[in-house]
Amino acid sequence: MIIQVKDVVKRFGDLRALDGVSCTIEAGEVVIVLGPSGSGKSTFMRCLNGLEKVDSGVVIVDGMRLDHSKSDLRRIRQTIGIVFQQFNLFPHLTAMENLTLAQKVVLGRKPDEAREIALELLKKVGLSEKQDVHPAHLSGGQQQRVAIARSLAMKPKIMLFDEPTSALDPEMIGEVLEVMRDLAREGMTMVVVTHEMGFAREVGDRILFMDQGRIVEEGRIEEVLKNPKEERTREFLSKVLKG
């Protein structure tokens, strides 16, 4: 397994955002994380790459235990890429520069090499002609594709997607899902928080259903969607599948 999470608790003040979460994720798996808002999905994702420090429990990524020493955090973040709901591209840099910055300063790649890798990835997400454009001049869908390419430039083994299409206009969702679909096909290990059930069913291997800071149900996608065991899962699914 490439990710192992055991008894993770994360508090924000009195709120237990994660209340004893345990799970394992295998290399090459696409795991869909579902759950109502405030159920701890985002916090769970952010604990996987160390953006949030867990209060107790263990997170092991690619054999490294996340203990919040600085060097470990940096290594883990080079192993895991994350794509945010709000894209978080660097607005003062062009698409190309967004992709090359961390390659140069974190991985120490030569500018030529970094550009070559960046261009290849921009091509892959269908935006090579936008390489010299600043994010403000890109549509939401284009920005999110650049953000995915930026993460991929670090050659991660795992990609986290935290509601990657929730901030997008409906007509732009497809182009982002298409890129994610390609990635899954190439065997990338992915953890995806999404409400796009069509995508989940098509691409996902497994579902983790979260509620109130816990994983209340997990299983193969078809099984959970067809026969949810838990009442809370059933309730939630009936809402999202209708919508």
Partner 1 sequence: MGEWFIKELKTLGEILVFLVPAIPMTIKITLMAFAFALALGLFVGLSRVSPNKIFSIPSRIYVDVIRGIPLLVQIFFIYFGLGKILNLNQFVAGVAAVSICYSAYLGEIVRSGIQAIHKGQFEAAFSLGMTPVQTMRHVILPQAFPIVLPSVSNEFIATLKDSSLVSMIGLRELTRAGREYYSQYFVTFETWFVVGLIYLGMTFVLSRLASWMERRFRVHGWGMG
Task: Compute the least distance from the CB of residue 140 to partner 1, in Å.
Answer: 10
> Which segment (56-64, 103-111, 173-181, 226-234) binds partner 1 by CB under 8 A?
103-111
Asked if 201 and 225 touch (Cβ cutoff 8 Å), the reply is yes
Judged by CB under 8 A, which of 86, 166, 227, 238 binds partner 1? 86
Binding mask 130-169 for partner 1 (x = CB under 8 A): ----xxxx---------x--xx--x---------------
Find the DSSP H helices in 167-207: 170-185, 197-203
Through-space distance between the first and last CA atoms of the chain, rounded to whole angstroms: 34
Determine, following the binding rule CB under 8 A, whether residue 108 of this chain makes contact with partner 1. no
Q: According to CB under 8 A, which residues from 201 to 230 bind partner 1?
A: none
Task: Compute the least distance from the CB of residue 203 to partner 1, in Å.
Answer: 22
- How many chain residues interact with partner 1 (CB under 8 A)? 30
**What value, to the nearest 5°, has the Cα angle with vertex 40 and ends 36 and 41?**
75
**What value, to the nearest 5°, has the Cα angle with vertex 22 and ends 7 and 210?**
115
Determine, following the binding rule CB under 8 A, whether residue 110 of this chain makes contact with partner 1. no
Q: According to CB under 8 A, which residues from 56 to 85 bind partner 1?
A: 70, 74-75, 77-78, 80-82, 84
Beta carbon nearer to partner 1, 136 or 226? 136
| HSE (side-chain half, CA atoms, 13 Å) at 213 | 14
**d(C-alpha 215, C-alpha 212), whole Å:** 8
23 pairs with which residues across the strands? 5
Residues 6+ positions from 227 with CB-CB distance below 8 Å? none
Beta carbon nearer to partner 1, 72 or 205? 72
11 pairs with which residues across the strands? 16
The site for partner 1 (CB under 8 A) is made up of 49, 51, 70, 74-75, 77-78, 80-82, 84, 86, 88-92, 101-102, 105-107, 134-137, 147, 150-151, 154
